[in-house]
Structures are given as structure tokens and as C-alpha cells.
Amino acid sequence: MPVCWLNGSFVAEQDAHVSIFDRGLLFGDGVYEVAAVVNGRLLDADRHLVRLSRSLAAIGIPDTQPTAVWLDVMQQLATQNGVHEGLVYLQVTRGVAERDFPFPAQVVPTMFAYARPKLLLADPNAAGVRLLTVPDLRWQRCDIKSTSMLAQVLAKQSARAAGAFEAMMHEDGLVTEGGSSNVWIVRDGTLCTRPTSSDILAGITRDVVLEIAHEAGVPVRERAFTVTQALAADECLMSSATSFVLPVTRIDDHTIADGAPGPVTMRLRAAYLARATRLTQ
Ligand code: PDD
């Protein structure tokens, strides 16, 4: 029986309950993180927890749980649930209070986390995925990893309905990011991705890919690109904690280059997997 963690205790998932007055449920008033588990161990969880603190500060939820406690909870969830390879999800909401939009005076944040197995190293999607372009309907603080994600739900549903793996969101033709990933192109050997700002989430995987690219001597340009430039790119790729680095071989009904995963993409993916394996041994 899967075990989750809720407000300080490990409990069977089926026994974990949250109030209907939780502001996460009422307003999407919360933030979250997703970290990978490889070889039964957390990958880059410390970086995810730094971003969690940033998200909490941005929306004024007290950051009460020490990093060491989160790390222990996350690791225990992977271990207790036998998750050798997969994900740990964690969420913090503002808490339970009578429904009123401004922050309640006395409120204790709701915190929970759970683990799930997922194939990451041998992901079949490494053969290449298709993205569907959709308008980015979100707000102006996409740097906050908020649980208010109706725009992404709609974007990713459109992608799934069209048989695509992920959405590629754009503002008037300028690519922002994937529905739950960052997107990149390669042009003449240079890796290109949108610079971080309040327009996108600063992906932890994105950061690591930038580091790996620098180490591998792959030129990088943090610069916004258009859907048209993506269609004409030599390679396209996406990154996230749930998919690491995946080649994008089609966008809408257009095939990228010759339709095969590109060499820079596969080099970055291989380096990412090698690093993940090394750090979790
Ligand atoms: N999403 N951009 C958005 C909008 C995201 O939701 C995510 C992650 C990313 C990639 O960030 P990272 O590399 O830190 O995973 C970029 C998670 C995986 C999710 O919602 O499931």
C-alpha cells in the first residue's frame, strides 16, 4: 500500500485527507516541486528545495520546514514505496481557512508529498516526441512554481487530444516553454533557450543542461526564439525533471530536420543520464 507524507506524518495514501477549505483546493493557492529518483536516490533535490523556498517567499507562505527534513521525507518516500526510479512530488498550500481571497490571519500551511515509479533512464520517448504549439494563456509570474495551472492543463490536454506528447507554448509566436518543461533548439551547433524571467519557470533540469553544455563545449545562447525558428531548427529538445532531456522530432505536423533525434540532443541526454547515475550511486 503506497505511503505518502502529510503535515508531519507518514500515512497510507488512502488515509491521507485534506479539508475542502484548503486554499490549495479553493484558489490554487500553493506551490509544488517534482524531483527525480534514480537508483533509489534523490536527484538534485537540494536545488528543487531552493526553488521551493523561492516560490514560497514569492507568495508569502511561511517556509517552516527545514531543507534537511524535506530531504529526509522525500528520501523516505522513495525508499518506503520501493521507488528505485521515479519521482517525488511535494506541495505546500497556504492552508485551511474560511473562503476569503486575502491571506487569512491565522493559518498553518498544508504540506504533503508522495512518490511514484517512472522509467527515466530508459524512457521510450528518447526516440523522439512531438509537440503541439498552443498560445501561452498564463499569468505574469510563471517563475513561481504555482499549483494554479489551468492554462497548462488546457495546453497539455490540447496536445494529448492531438496525439502530441507535450505542448509548446508561445506568446504571439515567441516560444515561452513547454506545458511542464523547458524547450530548446539547436541551430548551427549552438544550443538556444529562452532566458529566465517571469515569463518561464527556471527549470532545474534547464540549469543542469546549461552546465553540461558548457562542460561539453557546446555553445549556448540564452535567447528567445520563435515557433518559425523552431520549425526550421537543426534540432529541438525539451527538458524537465520528469523527462530529463528528450529529443523533439516533430512540432505540429512539421518534421524537425530529418526526423531523427539530433546529435547535440543525444549527447546532452547521454551526459545528463551519466551525471544522474554518478550522483545517485
Ligand atoms: N514541471 N516549465 C514548466 C512550466 C514546468 O512545469 C516545469 C516542470 C519545467 C521544468 O522544470 P524542472 O526542470 O525543474 O522540472 C519548466 C514539473 C515536472 C511538473 O509539473 O510535473
- What lies within 8 Å, CB to CB, of 261 at 6+ separation is 126, 127, 128, 235, 247, 249
How far apart are the CA of 270 and the centre of ligand 1, in A? 20
pLDDT at residue 265, as a whole number: 98
Residue length of the chain: 281
Cα–Cα distance for residue pair 4/13, rounded to 1 Å: 5
* Cβ(247)–Cβ(262) below 8 Å: yes
Q: What are the tens digits of pLDDT across the range 116-161?
A: 999 999 999 999 999 999 999 999 999 999 999 999 999 999 999 9
* Domains recognised in the chain with CATH numbers: 3-117 (3.30.470.10), 129-279 (3.20.10.10)
pLDDT at residue 51, as a whole number: 98
Mean pLDDT, residues 155-181 taken together: 98
How sure is the predictor about 71, in pLDDT bands with cuts at 50, 70 and 90?
Answer: very high
How sure is the predictor about 191, in pLDDT bands with cuts at 50, 70 and 90?
Answer: very high
Nearest CA to ligand 1 atom 8: 180
* Cβ(211)–Cβ(245) below 8 Å: no
How sure is the predictor about 226, in pLDDT bands with cuts at 50, 70 and 90?
Answer: very high
pLDDT at residue 166, as a whole number: 98
Q: Which of 74, 29, 25, 21 is nearest to 49 (CA)?
A: 74
Nearest CA to ligand 1 atom 3: 180
Ligand 1 pocket: which of 120, 180, 183, 212 to mutate (most atoms within 8 A of CB): 180
Active-site annotation holds for 118: no
Strands (E), the chain: 3-6, 9-12, 30-38, 41-43, 86-93, 110-117, 129-135, 166-171, 174-178, 182-187, 190-193, 220-222, 235-240, 244-251, 254-255
How far apart are the CA of 33 and the centre of ligand 1, in A? 8
pLDDT at residue 11, as a whole number: 98
How sure is the predictor about 80, in pLDDT bands with cuts at 50, 70 and 90?
Answer: very high
pLDDT at residue 120, as a whole number: 98
- What lies within 8 Å, CB to CB, of 254 at 6+ separation is 231
